[in-house]
Structure 1
Amino acid sequence: MTIDESDIARLPKVVLHDHLDGGLRPATLIELAAQAGHDLPTTDPAELAAWFVHAASSGTLELYLETFGHTVAVMQTEAALRRVAREAAIDLAADGVVYAEQRYAPEQHQGGGLSLQQVVDAVQAGFDEGIAAAAVSGRTLRVGTLITAMRHADRGDEVAALALANRANGVVGFDIAGAEDGFPPARFASAFRALAEANFPVTVHAGEAAGLESIAEAVHVAGASRLGHGVRIVEDIAIVRPDGGEPDDGEPDVGAEAELGLLAHWIRDHQIPLELCPTSNVQTGAAGSVATHPITLLRDLGFAVTINTDNRLQSGTTLTREMTLLADEAGWSLDDLRDATVTAAWNAFIHHDEREALVEDVILPGFAVPAAGRHLA
C-alpha cells in the first residue's frame, strides 16, 4: 500500500524545527536583495531556488550554513522581517501545518540598527498578519517562536533574557544554533541555568555535525527538552546479527537486535524528542539517504521521532514533501506519519491542555479523514 501525496498534503501537520531565515520565497529574496543592494547568484526565482538546494547539498554543515549569508543579509529592516514572517506563516498554513515553531536568531538581524526587541516585535507582527491571512483562506495555524542564540557568539545570557522577556509575546522556547562542532552547549551554561530557573523550555541543535558528546551536553548541561536533529544518537546503537555479520553487507538482517549504549538508553527512556529533518540531514552528510535515514530505525526502536523541514529554501522542501519521501522511500505508513505528528504535538512548547486539544481536536480527526483516500500500489 502506498500513500498518495495529495492525501499527505491534506493532513494536519506539526513542525517543530523550521528556521525563519531558511524559508524565504525566492521571489521575495530577490526583491529584498534589490532593495538592500545585496548581490545574489541569480535573479531568476527558479534558478535561485535550484542554486540554494545545490549549494546546501555540499555534504557538510559548515558549507550548508554559508547559504544563510544571502537570506540574513536581506532581513535587516522591520519591513523585511515582517514580510518574511508573514509569508512564512502563509506558506506553512498552505502546506497543512496547524502548529509551527519558527526559530531565528535576533542577533543576526541588527545590521540595520534594530534593537533585539525591535527584531522580535517585527517578526511577531509578521506572524500575526500571516496567521490572519491564512484564516481568511480557511486555514488555521498557530505559531510559537523559538529565540535562538548563535553558538559562536557570546550573547547567550542576553538572548536568553530576551526570550524570557517575550514569553507573553509569542516566544515559547530557546535554542542555540550554528556551527556545532567546537562550540558546545557548555559555553551557554549560565543562560541555561537562568532559563531553567524561569521554567522556560529549551531545545538545542545537537547530534548533527557533532556526535554523542554534543547530545549529552545538550541534555545534561543545557537541560534540553528536545534535540534539534539528534540524528547521530545512532552512533550509540549497535545492530548485532546472530551470524556475526555486519549490517548492510548485502545479507538479510534476520534476527538482528539493537544494543543501545547508555546515552541512547537515556534519550529513549526519557522519550526526549528528536527533531529529525530527513532531507537536510542528507544534505549535510548526517544521513546517507532518506531511504536509509536513521529516523526509521529510531522509530522502530521506540524513540520519540518527529518529522521536520529545517530550512525549506535550502532543502527545496515542505513538510508534505518530507512525509511523502518517507512514505515512498522508507516505507512509512499513514499510521507512522500520524504517530510522528502526534509525538510532535505532544512535545510542542505549549501547555499540556493546549497540546491535548491540538491532538484530540485537530490531529487525530484530521488523520482519520484521508483514510478512504489511500491508494494501493
Structure 2
Amino acid sequence: MTFLRRLLSLALVQMAIEVAAVSILVILLQSLLNIFPEAFLQSPFGDTLANVCYACVIVGVLFLASRWLEHRSLADMGLPRKRWGRPLFLGFLCGGGLIASVIVVLAITGGYHITGIQPLNAVQLVVLIIASGLLALLLWRNKGKRKLGFIHYLLFIAIGFGLLPIAAPLLLLLAAAIQEELVFRGMIFRLLERALGSWIALIISALAFGILHSTNPGATLVSTLAVALTSGVVMVAIYLLTRNLWWVIGLHLGWNFFEGPFFGAQVSGHATYGGFFSASITGQEVWTGGAFGPEAGLVAIFIVCMVGFLLCIRAAQQHRIVKPTWRQQASQAAQSEVTEEGVEEQQSKL
C-alpha cells in the first residue's frame, strides 16, 4: 500500500476531506444563488429551494465519499436504502415528543400561550395527531413486516391532509435536518469515533454543533452551550443506539417542526412561516430561551440532557461504545500475548 493510500485510509483525513468538500461546494453554490434577487432568496420559496440544493450537495458528497474515499456502502455509513421510512417517521415523533414535553412545562408554568387558531387548521391538527399516533402504533407492532396494508395507506392520506398547512416549512426543515445530520453525525462524529472513540467524538461533535448555531439570530453563550448539551448529545446517543442516520434525521426534523410550525416558537433564532396556530412565550429568558427559542432555556436543558444521559447509559450497557484506536491496539496486543502464552504452555506440555 502506497503512502497516499495509507493516508487516505485514515478516518481523520477522510473527515477533513469530506467536510472541506462540503464547505467548498456550499460556498460555490451560495455564490451561484446570488444571481437571484435578495428578496427571492429570503422568501419562503427561495429559502426552501436553497436549502434543498444544499442538502443535495451534501448527499452527493457523502455518496461519492462512500464509493471513492471510504469504500463502503451507504448502509454501513448509516443510510440504508431500504426500510428508511419507519425510522424516519418514528424519529420524527420522538423529536416531537421531546420538544412537546418542554412546551408542556412552559404552559404549566404560564410561559406558553396560544394566541390564535383557525377552525380548519384545528380540524387538520386533530386529524394529523390521531393518524400519526395510529400509524406509529402499527409500524412499531409490525416492525418485522415489509408490506403495507390498506389501513397504512389510509393513514398516509389522513396525515397528508393534516400536513397541508405546514407542507412548505416541513420541506425546508427536512432539508435543513438532512444537511446538519449528514455533516455532524454522518461525517464528523462517525469518522471521529473511528479514530478517537465514541466519547471524545461526542464531545467534539457536540461542541462543533453548538458553535455552528452561535451565529444565529438571538444567539448567546448560553444558547450555544444549550444546543451542544441538548441536541448535540441526544442526536449522537440515538445514533449510537441505532447506527442509523434516518433515526437521527427524523428526530432532528421532529424537534424543529414541532418547535416552530406546530407550537409557533422560534427555531434556533429563526421564525418559521405557516403553522396551525400562533403562540407567544413569555417569562424569564433563562427558562424560556428568549429570542433564540425554547431549546436555549433551562427547561429544555434539564429535560433533554436527562434523556441524552439515559440514552448514553443505554448505549454503554448494550456495548455500542467504540474505544479509541490506541486502546483497541492495546487490547489486541494484550490478547495476542495471552494467545501466545497459551500456545507456548500447550507446546511445553506436549
TM-score tier by shorter-chain length is under 0.3
Q: Give the number of the structure whose alpha-carbon radius of gyration is greater.
A: 2
TM-score w.r.t. the length of structure 1 is 0.25
